[in-house]
């Protein structure tokens, strides 16, 4: 997926890509070093590895964060030279992998694209084996396909309920009483009664992001648009429940429909008309840098549960690192990513205070469980959220995210159907049942059957 959505706003956790890569034939297992008969990458067997690696990242704040970690990496591996390049990955990666020319050793990639490129990538099962029991299950699942693991998990993006505590208190609404989505509906009704011109709950107007948020809700319920075998499973009680909730918010006038952090979105957030925002952790950018009147008024809690005792978070977005088979120094690139994700010095350099994020990178949390220790915060309390300890909230939420499944290569193509039909439902021209039925038919016919 790749026009930037959040990163142009300083987020960097996720991009929207328009290129489908399903059906690309992979090269034979001859490129790169560390080859095995099964295409599984092996770690270097030398105590003093040396050489040069080329690492691709998207231009933006995360590029700068990773750039700043290279000096720390070279303290451990002084003989590995890292050529870190800012690249338009969406436009270059597919052709580069197909032609096999100038293939990078490692690439930063959205989770939803990993499965589509798997034929070209090293299976990382062997090198990840020492860490696999300590990686968030959801991140392992989205990077796994046919028994292999094709991405080094980077971030975990837990869904949270952001809320304007000051506005709710002034309206006499107790946010701490919200434990389920039924509670959220009631809190929104109470707020609207006190503030009649409000639309308390955010309703996403962009088709892509609306579908992404829908998948966050589904993640809470332990499901997703496709199962582990890639079979469509949209027609389910879980999606009926989620769409029914969104339909209720729309029909009762309990929502503000706007594109994520558009001018309309910001205006209604800053005027107290929109006070509940169920979204990934990277929404914290808004009260930190965009909202002027209400910066400091916002807080975050775990998402409401779909039923009492249910999971209080789901994953929304995320990225990983892939190692192409035709990279010249894949084993050395593995050492770079191993350092960043699983070495305390590495993940502290990524998430701790730095020149890009003086208080630390707070738009995601590590997917490596020892790094996401609630008692050892890597980033500081967030000033734009009243100095709330967002680390504690996010890590507690992250622990509750259920396992998942590989994200199908046709996911972004499904936006033309599911994403758009969701918007039609919010327009009032489709019912939740019609969204499920029509989207299921269109995705199966136009995307899955044509692979």
- Tens-digit pLDDT profile for residues 168-177: 999 999 999 9
Which pLDDT band holds residue 4 (cuts at 50, 70, 90)?
Answer: very low
Least confident of 28-37, 182-191, 343-352, 359-368: 28-37
Q: Mean pLDDT throughout 295-309?
A: 97
Classify residue 358: in a domain, yes or no. Answer: yes
* pTM of the entire predicted model: 0.92
Which pLDDT band holds residue 38 (cuts at 50, 70, 90)?
Answer: confident
Looking at the fold, whether 375 and 408 belong to one and the same domain comes out as: no
Looking at the fold, whether 199 and 276 belong to one and the same domain comes out as: yes
How many separate helices (H) and strands (E) can be counted in the chain?
Answer: 16, 16
Q: Mean pLDDT throughout 91-116?
A: 95
**pLDDT, averaged across the chain:** 92
Looking at the fold, whether 204 and 269 belong to one and the same domain comes out as: yes
In the prediction, which pLDDT does 6 show? 41
Looking at the fold, whether 440 and 371 belong to one and the same domain comes out as: no
Classify residue 216: in a domain, yes or no. Answer: yes
The residues, ordered by sequence, that sit 6+ positions from 156 with a Cβ below 8 Å of its Cβ are 136, 138, 139, 315, 318, 364, 365, 366, 367, 372, 398, 401
pLDDT digits 0-9 by tens, 411-423: 999 999 999 999 9
Which pLDDT band holds residue 142 (cuts at 50, 70, 90)?
Answer: very high
Return the DSSP state at 24: P
Looking at the fold, whether 209 and 308 belong to one and the same domain comes out as: yes
Looking at the fold, whether 33 and 140 belong to one and the same domain comes out as: yes
Looking at the fold, whether 238 and 328 belong to one and the same domain comes out as: no
Q: Tell me how far apart the alpha carbons of residues 81 and 59 are, in angstroms, rounded to a whole number.
A: 20
Classify residue 74: in a domain, yes or no. Answer: yes
In the prediction, which pLDDT does 30 show? 34
**Domain assignment of residue 107, given as a range:** 3-157+319-380
Do 341 and 154 contact (CB within 8 A), yes or no? yes
Using alpha carbons only, give the angle 444, 119, 53 rounded to the nearest 5 degrees: 135
| Structural domains counted in the chain | 2
Q: Which residues pair with 97 in a beta bridge?
A: none
Q: Tell me how far apart the alpha carbons of residues 177 and 52 are, in angstroms, rounded to a whole number.
A: 55
Which pLDDT band holds residue 32 (cuts at 50, 70, 90)?
Answer: very low
């Amino acid at each position: 997926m790749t026009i930037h959505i959040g990163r142009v706003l300083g987020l960097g956790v996720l991009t929207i890509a328009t290129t489908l890569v399903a059906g690309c034939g992979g090269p034979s297992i001859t490129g790169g070093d560390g080859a095995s008969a099964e295409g599984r990458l092996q770690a270097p067997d030398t105590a003093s590895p040396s050489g040069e690696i080329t690492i691709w990242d998207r231009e933006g704040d995360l590029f700068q964060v990773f750039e700043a970690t290279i000096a720390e990496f070279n303290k451990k591996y002084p003989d590995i030279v890292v050529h870190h390049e800012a690249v338009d990955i969406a436009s270059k990666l597919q052709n580069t992998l197909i032609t096999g020319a100038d293939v990078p050793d490692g690439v930063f990639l959205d989770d939803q694209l990993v499965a589509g490129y798997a034929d070209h990538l090293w299976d990382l099962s062997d090198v990840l084996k020492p860490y696999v029991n300590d990686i968030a299950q959801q991140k392992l699942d989205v990077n796994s396909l046919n028994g292999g693991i094709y991405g080094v998990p980077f971030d975990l993006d837990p869904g949270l309920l952001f809320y304007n505590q000051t506005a709710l208190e002034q309206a006499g609404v107790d946010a701490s009483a919200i434990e389920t989505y039924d509670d959220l509906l009631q809190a929104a009704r109470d707020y609207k009664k006190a503030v009649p011109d409000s639309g308390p709950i955010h309703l996403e107007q962009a088709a892509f992001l609306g579908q992404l948020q829908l998948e966050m809700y589904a993640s809470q319920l332990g499901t997703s648009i496709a199962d582990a075998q890639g079979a469509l499973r949209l027609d389910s009680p879980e999606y009926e429940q989620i769409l029914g909730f969104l339909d209720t918010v729309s029909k009762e006038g309990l929502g503000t429909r706007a594109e994520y952090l558009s001018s309309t979105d910001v205006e209604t957030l800053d005027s107290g008309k929109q006070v509940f925002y169920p979204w990934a952790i990277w929404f914290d950018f808004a009260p930190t840098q965009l909202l002027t009147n209400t910066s400091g008024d916002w807080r975050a809690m775990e998402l409401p549960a779909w039923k009492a005792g249910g999971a209080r978070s789901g994953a929304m977005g995320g990225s990983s690192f892939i190692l192409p088979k035709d990279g010249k120094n894949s084993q050395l690139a593995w050492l770079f990513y191993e350092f960043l994700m699983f070495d305390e010095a590495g993940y502290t350099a990524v998430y701790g205070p730095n020149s890009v994020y003086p208080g630390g990178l707070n738009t995601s949390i590590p997917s490596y469980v020892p790094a996401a220790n609630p008692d050892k915060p890597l980033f500081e309390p967030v000033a734009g959220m009243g100095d709330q300890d967002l680390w504690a909230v996010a890590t507690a939420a992250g622990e509750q995210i259920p396992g998942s499944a590989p994200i199908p290569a046709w996911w972004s193509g499904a936006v033309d159907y599911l994403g758009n039909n969701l918007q039609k439902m919010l327009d009032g021209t489709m019912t939740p049942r019609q969204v499920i039925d029509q989207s299921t038919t269109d995705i199966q016919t136009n995307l899955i059957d044509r692979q």
